[in-house]
Amino acid sequence: MSICIFSHGRCLQYDVGHDHPESASRLHAVQDQLLSSGLAYVLEQRDGNAASRDDLYLAHDRAYVDSLFELVPEHGHIWLDDDTQLNAKLLRAALYSAGCGISAIDYLMQGADRKAFCLVRPPGHHAERAAAKGFCLFNNIAIAAAYALERYKVQRILIVDFDVHHGNGTEDIFQHEARVRFFSSFQHPYYPYTDPISRSGSIIKMPLDAGTSGALYRQRWLDEWLPLMHQFQPELVLVSAGFDAHIEDEMGQMKLTDQDYFWLGQQLAQLAARHSQGRLLSMLEGGYEHSPLARSVVQYLKGQL
């Protein structure tokens, strides 16, 4: 069994504002914690490749993708929505962020009992088929899943999203795709103010009240989700790994702890071992307080060992 970290220097080379929570220091904090914990000496680390436009078209509307390349300014930035800006360095970073997921899929499919974690920015799970949203240009996890469907003909893909915010973009892209099951837990009501009711058999939602504890979260996972996950028998397990439901993260009002993320790593690794030959891919989404983010990522990975 091995875990490989996929990232790229381009993911560090854009800035969306001095006070913006989505900063390069998030990735630096995780790398520092991997080193100080000793985990960096156990894991493999690789650079991912940039996604091509054809890769992006697998999950996104062609006109939307092309418009980003046409709109991107040589200098400065433009706003795509109230939260999401576009500049030249950010677009390049987004290509590598999505491309790391594709590189990770290739890595997983070349052997059994492999796991990967994509330490990337910008995040992706709010990006819809034809719209940027919530810091996200391209939906990294959806592109990885669509690539696995197309390139490797995988027939059952499970996507789990435990970010404090609902993965509205992933729902939008896969709501009519029978080969994908999307499980999303999220604080409700909260951004992006999604409908808490599942309207598709491919989408399973777990809306959670502000203040939800790790104990309650675990119990609902075991009671409501795990039986359905086993019933689906996924051939590949993908995760939108957002750590902003941590009690120390001011982005949300949930009360998960480092040990809850260790538990999530264990649960997902066991699920992958049972159904998908151990193949498990996680991609960083949220998590904006540096210390709890870094600690939680390390615990999540330790839970998979």
Return the bridge partners of 36, or none: none
Rounded to an integer, what is the distance from CA 229 to the centroid of its chain?
Answer: 18
Residue 76 burial (CB count, 10 A): 8
Query: Measured between alpha carbons, how far is residue 170 from residues 13, 66, 130, 282 in Å?
Result: 26, 20, 12, 14
> Which pair of structure tokens corresponds to residue 2?
């091995």
What is the rounded distance in angstroms from the CA atom of residue 72 to the CA atom of residue 91? 8
The span from the first CA to the last CA of the chain, in angstroms, equals 8
Q: Which residues are catalytic?
A: 126
The first and second tokens of residue 56, run together, are 């992006």
Nearest CA among 140, 108, 142 for reference residue 3: 108
Q: What gap in Å lies between CA 67 and CA 274, rounded to an integer?
A: 42
> Rg for the chain (alpha carbons), in Å?
17
Residue with tokens 């490797």: 152
For the record, the structure tokens of 73 come out as: 């300014």
Which residues on neighbouring strands pair with residue 180, listed in sequence order? 157
